[in-house]
Amino acid sequence: MRKQAKISRRKFVGSAATVAALSSLPVGKLMTFAKGSSANPENADWKDQGVLYVDKSPYAKVHNVPVHAVTITQGFWGARREINVDKSIPSMEKLLEANGRMTNFLRLVGQSNAKQTGPVYSDSDVYKWTEAVGFALESGDRPQLREVTEKIIKEVVAVQEPSGYLNTYYVDDRSKDRMTPDVQRWGHELYNLGHMIQGAIAFYRATGDSTLLDASMRFVDGYLLPNFGPGADKKPIFSGHPEIELALVELYRTTGQKKYLTLAGYILQGDDRIKVPQRAYVYHFCGIPFTSRTHLEGHAVRAMYACCGATDYYMETGDEAYLKTLDVLWNDLVATQMYVTGGVGARSQGEAFGDSYELPNFTAYGESCAAIGNMMWNWRMLTATGDAKYADVIERALYNGINSGMSLDGTLYCYRNPLAFDPSGGDQIRNPWYDTTCCPPNLERTFASLPGYFYGTSKDGLYVHLYDNSELRWHLEDGTGLQIVQKTNYPWDGAVELTVSPAKPVEFAVYLRIPGWSDSTQAKVNGQAVSGATPGKYLALRRRWSAGDTVDLEFNLTPQVIEANARVVDDYGRVAVQRGPLIYCLEQLDQPQGVPLYDVSLDLRKSASPRFQEQFRANLLGGIVVLKHPGAANENSVSGNTLYSSYTASPAQTHEVELQFIPYYAWANRAPTPMQVWTPYLRA
Ligand SMILES: [Zn+2]
CA of 477 to the centre of ligand 1 (A): 37
CA of 498 to the centre of ligand 1 (A): 36
d(CA 175, CA 194): 20
Average pLDDT, the chain: 91
d(CA 340, CA 334): 10
CA of 122 to the centre of ligand 1 (A): 12
CA of 187 to the centre of ligand 1 (A): 16
> Which bin fits 214, alpha (ψ -120 to 50), beta or left (φ > 0)?
alpha
CA of 607 to the centre of ligand 1 (A): 43
DSSP state of 394: H
CA of 460 to the centre of ligand 1 (A): 38
* 141 SS3 class: coil
CB 50 within 8 A of CB 380: no
CA of 588 to the centre of ligand 1 (A): 27
CA of 481 to the centre of ligand 1 (A): 40
CB 158 within 8 A of CB 109: yes
- Is the pLDDT score of 681 beyond 70? no
CA of 363 to the centre of ligand 1 (A): 17
CA of 437 to the centre of ligand 1 (A): 7
The residues that bridge with 488 in the sheet, in sequence order, are 496
pLDDT tens-place string over residues 443-499? 999 999 999 999 999 999 999 999 999 999 999 999 999 999 999 999 999 999 999
CA of 144 to the centre of ligand 1 (A): 27
Q: How many CB atoms lie within 10 A of CB 143?
A: 9
In DSSP notation, 315-335 reads: HHH--HHHHHHHHHHHHHIII
> With bands split at pLDDT 50, 70 and 90, how would you rate the model's confidence at 673?
low
- Is the pLDDT score of 126 beyond 60? yes
CA of 451 to the centre of ligand 1 (A): 22
CB 400 within 8 A of CB 665: yes
What is the reported pLDDT for 607?
A: 67
The residues that bridge with 582 in the sheet, in sequence order, are 579
pLDDT tens-place string over residues 27-51? 333 333 444 444 554 555 889 999 9
DSSP state of 652: P
DSSP state of 399: I
> Which bin fits 179, alpha (ψ -120 to 50), beta or left (φ > 0)?
left
CA of 9 to the centre of ligand 1 (A): 38
CA of 245 to the centre of ligand 1 (A): 18
Beta strands 506-514 and 461-464 are parallel
Prediction pTM value: 0.93
CA of 377 to the centre of ligand 1 (A): 16
CA of 303 to the centre of ligand 1 (A): 13
What is the reported pLDDT for 7?
A: 36
CA atoms within 13 A on the CB side of 222: 13
CB 409 within 8 A of CB 83: yes
